Structure 1
């Protein structure tokens, strides 16, 4: 079975070399990575203290023999993708136990985790697929050996991905995976005016915020999903992981149908109307318009100001249905030196009501204005990410190699407050550990003892870790009745 050529998620900037199985010794000898599988290691580590909450300051020594504290001081000015920086992050700050609980859906090891595919992007840009692990500890140990720049999560297969070549033909297939969605700001380049390509700011981030609002409520209200994890992609977008069991079990046909449900903005070129909706509006579209209407005024008309120039104004006129009204608007705007997009939007109604056009139909004009609002605010999703069960997606809490930012969860209840500029970078987190002062607690007998504090708790990563932990616990609580029901059917 030849390795499937996979492009990492939309925030990846480079084309990765796809390496099958564990054949990396000859590919990355310059890094002297010795790779071995540890599936048979003891499961006793599953019941150790939670590795997410252990102070790692003395747990690891780097190749130079320095302790973590000394090593951190040496790498605070290093590149975020520097191998030593990443090694510090994986050994001290990555939430391995919570990742296991999230993907395993149980506290005890199961095939939900053991048959899950992991893929690594190595520092030499090799892309290593079909890796699998029985426990989070074995995954952690392999990551510390390989020290990838990031890793991705794939589906749960019918057998261990590593064993696929030894299986009868056709028996190795994906069984389940979270339903995922990808929002990338490059898909908004034709309508955002503040930034383009990989650059973002808080103004154009509002496109992502608006998309999250629309998609999240539709997934909950229209499809009945409850466990939706939103994650910042590290640079210019966000990912949704729908983790409900019924979502994980969806086949490709159902995933394509759900993806199509969210396809409203269509067409590749800048000319032409990209939103052409039937009336009356579908309830989902009506609700989305109601959610986005106020955001259009603030985030689009005011912040993006997309119709200010003459060329931009002509684009707006292309989207309106009445020629006489367009001529009147064009004449008014040509006679004004500077007129904002907000003013031009108001001019549409004021001139229509003034009788400047004898052919304008108010109902038709209203419908076209609704379409314009949706064209500039409605989610533009990468549908291919959602359609296929075997698609790989970047893991939460990995570090984006270009920005150094951690791919942290987004609190959907406070989505308007999320600012990508506030997301910590890996170097910043290591600096916070380095500068943290251990508090002293006095015991009743007068002796001073230092309290045990995890590295995560020393940093600004803690609120994101806590958000993820609460999400995982709610998911596990929901899975328990399902597991009990399955056990009952055995007897």
Structure 2
């Protein structure tokens, strides 16, 4: 297996991976906590097989059944669904969804209108910073604004990240509750034809928005230099269209056109011009009080697939799945170390199983770290659930 990844060999590698490296025990424990008080068998699993056959409404009762299912079906992709009031394979047409982790899905393809280093499925260290910002903003909001504690972060294996919130209060949220959280997190609105996609109004900023801006500010100059948002005529034109005041827009265009193409220098000049313009025009500051913050958010704020968060029955890729296109493992990571992730050091199935690979030792170490991260979240969740059951005398709260 020395050399480049070959997707055609995946069917040979996956049985070994599932048997030796996939953390089956911890995985089942995680699902069991998310199922409580329902049995594990009421959780939906979904497999995508090598020939693109899509199997839904699968279920397991224990780790042994999971292992048997892995060896029998050898899924190229493993997705996790909701918890039903019955075994999903039996009465799926009449079954009722009782619980589902609150989930978030952030994909770098949704940043293609602002990122310049890569497009579509390609990802590099420069555009990964968008994911770092997204992770920090979302994790902080979930913890500080909603009080959630059991939060799992997973690299998708290719171009994005997933967040699973397993607190009982999150799992049993109804549809309006999930929609409210999704809308609370969403600041960027509008389609491709809308130039200005962030409108914060003229009032003082909500503390959560100010906190998000503070996080963005830590990375913004780096992103200006990495992505060069303003360096070309086309990018500058896109930037200028965000500015609603025509007089200010013409002033900025006139100055920036004559400047060097450095985005950082152009941005600093824009800020100076904007501040001076607002000092001289009282009405202007009232109309675009938060223009600088709005632009920073439009370029850097998390771009969520809010339908994934709002929906109960959306399937999401399991932790430690293998991405069939890259061979990378969907590793669990700690949000505070998101910036330290190096994409070329993410374990791949072929380097993990190839002792002769130069990356084998490093990838084995990183795989163990990812499993340990997973275990820590599961242990915390189990402790939280035990305390909750004790508090309510062993009886579950109503769904």
TM-score normalised per structure 2: 0.91
Contact 2:39 2:61 in 1 (8 A): no
TM superposition shift of 1:293: 1.7
Question: Which residue in 2 is equivalent to 1:164?
Answer: 91
Alignment length (residue pairs):
394
1:234 to 139, 151, 157: 157
Mapped pair 1:478 → 2:384 = yes
The residue correspondences of 1:78-89 to structure 2 (distance < 5 A) are 78-79=6-7, 82-89=10-17
Give the 3 Å change call, closer, same or farther, for CA 293–363 of structure 1 in structure 2.
farther
Structure 1, unmatched stretches of 5+, are 1-72, 438-454
Contact 1:153 1:392 in 2 (8 A): yes
Whole-angstrom CA distance in 1 between matches of 2:394 and 2:276:
72
2:106 to 168, 183, 195: 183
TM superposition shift of 1:84: 0.6
Whole-angstrom CA distance in 2 between matches of 1:355 and 1:239:
42
TM superposition shift of 1:467: 1.1
Contact 1:273 1:319 in 2 (8 A): yes
Give the 3 Å change call, closer, same or farther, for CA 480–364 of structure 1 in structure 2.
same
Contact 2:150 2:381 in 1 (8 A): yes
Give the 3 Å change call, closer, same or farther, for CA 201–76 of structure 1 in structure 2.
closer
Whole-angstrom CA distance in 2 between matches of 1:409 and 1:465:
7
Whole-angstrom CA distance in 1 between matches of 2:102 and 2:359:
39
Whole-angstrom CA distance in 1 between matches of 2:311 and 2:168:
17
Question: Which residue in 1 is equivalent to 2:77?
Answer: 150
Question: Which residue in 2 is equivalent to 1:22?
Answer: none
SS of 2:57's equivalent?
A: strand
TM superposition shift of 1:466: 0.9
Whole-angstrom CA distance in 2 between matches of 1:76 and 1:88:
19
SS of 1:163's equivalent?
A: coil
Contact 1:119 1:152 in 2 (8 A): yes
The residue correspondences of 1:295-306 to structure 2 (distance < 5 A) are 295-299=219-223, 301-306=224-229
More helix by share: 2
Question: Which residue in 1 is equivalent to 2:273?
Answer: 351
Contact 2:40 2:61 in 1 (8 A): yes
TM superposition shift of 1:285: 1.0
Whole-angstrom CA distance in 2 between matches of 1:259 and 1:332:
39
Contact 2:322 2:329 in 1 (8 A): yes
Question: Which residue in 2 is equivalent to 1:418?
Answer: 341
Mapped pair 1:121 → 2:27 = no
Structure number, greater radius of gyration: 1
1:251 to 165, 169, 174: 174
Mapped pair 1:292 → 2:220 = no
TM superposition shift of 1:333: 2.9
Residues 186-230 of structure 1: CA deviation (Å, up to 9, x unaligned)? 110000011110011111111111111111111111111001000
Whole-angstrom CA distance in 1 between matches of 2:4 and 2:63:
28
Whole-angstrom CA distance in 2 between matches of 1:461 and 1:80:
23
Question: Which residue in 2 is equivalent to 1:272?
Answer: 195
Mapped pair 1:374 → 2:374 = no
Structure 2, unmatched stretches of 5+, are none
Question: Which residue in 2 is equivalent to 1:391?
Answer: 314
Give the 3 Å change call, closer, same or farther, for CA 163–484 of structure 1 in structure 2.
same
Contact 2:228 2:263 in 1 (8 A): yes
Whole-angstrom CA distance in 1 between matches of 2:26 and 2:188:
37
Mapped pair 1:211 → 2:139 = no
Residues 232-272 of structure 1: CA deviation (Å, up to 9, x unaligned)? 00000000000101111111221111111111101111542
Which range moves more in the overlay, 385-394 or 399-408?
A: 385-394
2:21 to 88, 93, 98: 93
2:353 to 427, 430, 448: 430
Contact 1:324 1:359 in 2 (8 A): no
Contact 2:389 2:395 in 1 (8 A): no
Give the 3 Å change call, closer, same or farther, for CA 456–115 of structure 1 in structure 2.
farther
Contact 1:86 1:147 in 2 (8 A): yes
Give the 3 Å change call, closer, same or farther, for CA 333–436 of structure 1 in structure 2.
closer
Question: Which residue in 2 is equivalent to 1:32?
Answer: none
Residues 126-157 of structure 1: CA deviation (Å, up to 9, x unaligned)? 10011111101101111111111011111111
SS of 2:250's equivalent?
A: helix
Give the 3 Å change call, closer, same or farther, for CA 426–80 of structure 1 in structure 2.
farther
The residue correspondences of 1:98-109 to structure 2 (distance < 5 A) are 98-105=26-33
Mapped pair 1:222 → 2:145 = yes
Whole-angstrom CA distance in 2 between matches of 1:476 and 1:457:
28
TM superposition shift of 1:433: 8.5
SS of 1:477's equivalent?
A: helix
TM superposition shift of 1:424: 1.0
Give the 3 Å change call, closer, same or farther, for CA 362–339 of structure 1 in structure 2.
farther
